Structure 1
């Protein structure tokens, strides 16, 4: 009796809402292309952000849990970083068909400075970090701009990766301690205001070269093919946003993408320490090396469509 009354009421509601359902269906078909565009451009980038926050949350949980058995490990974060490296390598392989050429140029011991082109979001460096940790058994040290340390929720991840403020003194200390250090002279400016032509935006920066000379270490130039096609920075209002950035150092340029394009990281031959070279000359040489790598391996201007189809062609073939 009660069941019949409920079913009758539900049928009554369905009959009354028939027009609404048809109307909603019409609205969905009308705005579906726009929804797909918004999903591709703005929602997908959140995947990487969510992945980073999940990594940070994992480190937080691991830290507190592992304190109960800290006596079994000399390094609190060893297991956590190893696990995250596996996750990031899987992400790189599945989504980007990621490869590295020249991984053997990373020494298994001793200090070295990696200098790389900074994409809109340096996911290529995250992937390389995982590769070096898993296959060269070395943890790459990183320095970052001050604003990174103010991002809520990433404290545990920054602690686990031992990321430090980007100062010359800190870079020199890391190298003198025998670590692999990675820096991007273009920094946030190159990340947000670079474009698909892959021009370096270094201005007159040569601090990395001075650090390498003072620490007496070699430099390995690095570039990742299609890194600008994986994630792009918005160009709308770029002049105004550039003015704001130069005045405030606030990275307000929106990014979009996480497109499943082919990524290949190229690690050049080490540039050895030379006591007779000046920082200006060394910085110029490193810049020229990376520009040559871009000219050799990157199709310019970059194309997201072509970068996607690179996954189905000979990925190791040089592009001019």
Structure 2
């Protein structure tokens, strides 16, 4: 039997980059599980997790450094404009949603490591429907909203992050990096009611790291709209360069409406994309960006 090297390499390539997304999700589960077990065995409450009086800080630091190392070695990850994240006080971080928002997890790690602040995140409802996901979401401080709960968190001085495009933008976006916010302004209403600034965020080459399968999207998109479940398969984990750009904060303005603020934020994210993203995106060029 004739063995074609190119065929073996192709199969190996496909297998590796189908397995990597699974490994990423398993890593998130393991991270949350370690945090959960340790917290409960030590009988620590949430207000003491970062206290110097406990061993929790050491464990948390180890977990943070593991994710920091993963981002650095696999994606040469870095952040431009981290100083724009406030050291104290509330702010709403609004970001572009990739196929897998791994970049946002990296950014949260950076903020926790260098700013000593935890970012609360708004996630899609389906995240709480996965096996064991309630514990995972609890440990990662993810909530589904609504507006009043988001306003309450910000009023308490927390950092909160939202991706207005959500799962739809993640699954049906492409390497042209067009925003798919569908005139959503709920995040802007949160910022106006809480009287906090909005910080626009975008990660370069995000669409080249993980890619949603385009085949049969015309059939699967109606199914997604009906079920709101991530019915589109994806692959990737390509070791491309990822660089997050933190834009200039949009200050609170009592004279602006939520709709106007939403448009202003959308323009800010689009400008970050225009300035920092090669369009259309390309995996090979994104990999070369590392060098």
Alignment TM-score, normalising by the size of structure 2: 0.92
> Counterparts of 1:274 and 1:178 in 2: how far apart (Å)?
18
Instruction: Name the SS for the 2:94 alignment partner.
Output: strand
Does 2:14 correspond to 1:38? Answer: yes
**Partner in structure 2 of residue 223 of structure 1:** 202
Whether the 8 Å CA contact 1:232–1:257 is kept in 2: the answer is: yes
> Counterparts of 1:29 and 1:203 in 2: how far apart (Å)?
46
> Counterparts of 1:177 and 1:231 in 2: how far apart (Å)?
35
Whether the 8 Å CA contact 1:144–1:163 is kept in 2: the answer is: yes
Aligned CA RMSD, in angstroms, stands at 1.9
Q: Which aligned pairs between 1:306-317 and structure 2 lie closer than 5 A?
A: 306-312=285-291
Shift of 1:92: 0.4
Does 2:170 correspond to 1:188? Answer: no
**Partner in structure 2 of residue 315 of structure 1:** none
Shift of 1:255: 1.1
1:101 is aligned, of 80, 100, 108, to 80
Gaps of 5+ in 1: 1-22, 313-320
**Could you tell which deviates more after superposition, 74-83 or 183-192?**
74-83
Shift of 1:170: 1.7
Shift of 1:27: 6.0
- State which structure, 1 or 2, has the greater radius of gyration over its C-alpha atoms: 1
Shift of 1:147: 1.0
Instruction: Name the SS for the 2:87 alignment partner.
Output: coil
Whether the 8 Å CA contact 2:32–2:140 is kept in 1: the answer is: no
Instruction: Name the SS for the 1:44 alignment partner.
Output: helix
* Corresponding pairs, count: 285
**Partner in structure 1 of residue 48 of structure 2:** 74
2:41 is aligned, of 62, 65, 72, to 65
**Partner in structure 1 of residue 98 of structure 2:** 119
Alignment TM-score, normalising by the size of structure 1: 0.84
**Could you tell which deviates more after superposition, 105-114 or 45-54?**
45-54
Gaps of 5+ in 2: 51-55
Does 2:236 correspond to 1:262? Answer: no
**Partner in structure 1 of residue 222 of structure 2:** 243
Shift of 1:119: 0.3
> Counterparts of 2:64 and 2:136 in 1: how far apart (Å)?
12
> Counterparts of 1:120 and 1:279 in 2: how far apart (Å)?
27
Whether the 8 Å CA contact 1:82–1:133 is kept in 2: the answer is: no
Shift of 1:207: 0.7
Q: Which aligned pairs between 1:1-320 and structure 2 lie closer than 5 A?
A: 31-67=7-43, 70=44, 74-75=48-49, 78-312=57-291
Whether the 8 Å CA contact 1:85–1:129 is kept in 2: the answer is: no
